[in-house]
Amino acid sequence: MLIDYKDSRPIYEQIVEQYKKLILTGAMVHDERLPSVRNLAMELSANPNTVQRAYTELERQGFLYSVKGRGNFVCNTDFQLKARRDEIIQEIVALIKEAAEIGVDSEELHGLVTQAVQKEGAL
Amino acid sequence: MLIDYKDSRPIYEQIVEQYKKLILTGAMVHDERLPSVRNLAMELSANPNTVQRAYTELERQGFLYSVKGRGNFVCNTDFQLKARRDEIIQEIVALIKEAAEIGVDSEELHGLVTQAVQKEGAL
Amino acid sequence: MLIDYKDSRPIYEQIVEQYKKLILTGAMVHDERLPSVRNLAMELSANPNTVQRAYTELERQGFLYSVKGRGNFVCNTDFQLKARRDEIIQEIVALIKEAAEIGVDSEELHGLVTQAVQKEGAL
Amino acid sequence: MLIDYKDSRPIYEQIVEQYKKLILTGAMVHDERLPSVRNLAMELSANPNTVQRAYTELERQGFLYSVKGRGNFVCNTDFQLKARRDEIIQEIVALIKEAAEIGVDSEELHGLVTQAVQKEGAL
DNA sequence: GTGGTCTAGACCACA
DNA sequence: GTGGTCTAGACCACA
**Are the beta carbons of C113 and D81 separated by less than 8 Å?**
no
What's the pLDDT band for D6 if we cut at 50, 70, 90? confident
Chain A contact for D71 (CB, 8 A cutoff): no
Chain C contact for D89 (CB, 8 A cutoff): yes
Phi, psi of B16 (to 5 degrees): -55, -50
Q: Which helix (H) or strand (E) holds C83?
A: helix C78-101
Q: Which residue is nearest to nucleotide E15 (CA to C1')?
A: B69
Q: Widest CA span of chain D, in angstroms?
A: 58
pTM of the model: 0.88
The answer to whether C92 and D113 have CB atoms below 8 angstroms apart is yes
DSSP letter (8 states) at residue B66: E
What's the pLDDT band for C123 if we cut at 50, 70, 90? low
How large is the average pLDDT for residues C74-82?
94
Sequence letter at residue D7:
D
State pLDDT tens for residues A56-78: 999 999 999 999 889 999 999 99
Size of chain D, expressed as the number of residues it contains: 123
State pLDDT tens for residues D57-110: 999 999 999 998 889 999 999 999 999 999 999 999 999 999 999 999 999 999
Q: Who's near C7: CB < 8 A, 6+ residues apart?
A: C14
Helices (H), strands (E): how many in chain D?
5, 2
CA atom of C28 to C1′ atom of F5, Å: 38
Residue B121 pLDDT: 75
Phi, psi of C5 (to 5 degrees): -70, -15
How many angstroms separate the CA atoms of D71 and D50, rounded? 16
With 0-12 / 13-18 / 19 or more C-beta atoms within 10 angstroms meaning exposed / middle / buried, residue B64 is: buried
**pLDDT above 70 as % of chain C:** 98
Residue C53 pLDDT: 94
Residue D123 pLDDT: 63
> Smallest Cα–Cα separation from C12: which of C66, C50, C63, C59?
C50
Residue B13 pLDDT: 93
* pLDDT of A103 strictly over 70: yes
* pLDDT of C109 strictly over 90: yes
- Within 8 A of B111 by CB-CB distance, chain A residues are none
**Long-range Cβ contact pairs of A83-92 (< 8 A, separation 24 or more):** A84/A24, A84/B102, A85/B99, A85/B102, A85/B104, A85/B112, A88/B95, A88/B98, A88/B99, A88/B104, A88/B109, A89/B109, A89/B112, A89/B113, A89/B116, A90/B116, A91/B91, A91/B95, A92/B92, A92/B95, A92/B96, A92/B109, A92/B113
- Within 8 A of B99 by CB-CB distance, chain A residues are 85, 88
How many angstroms separate the CA atoms of C99 and C109, rounded? 8
Residue A63 pLDDT: 96
The answer to whether B23 and B63 have CB atoms below 8 angstroms apart is yes
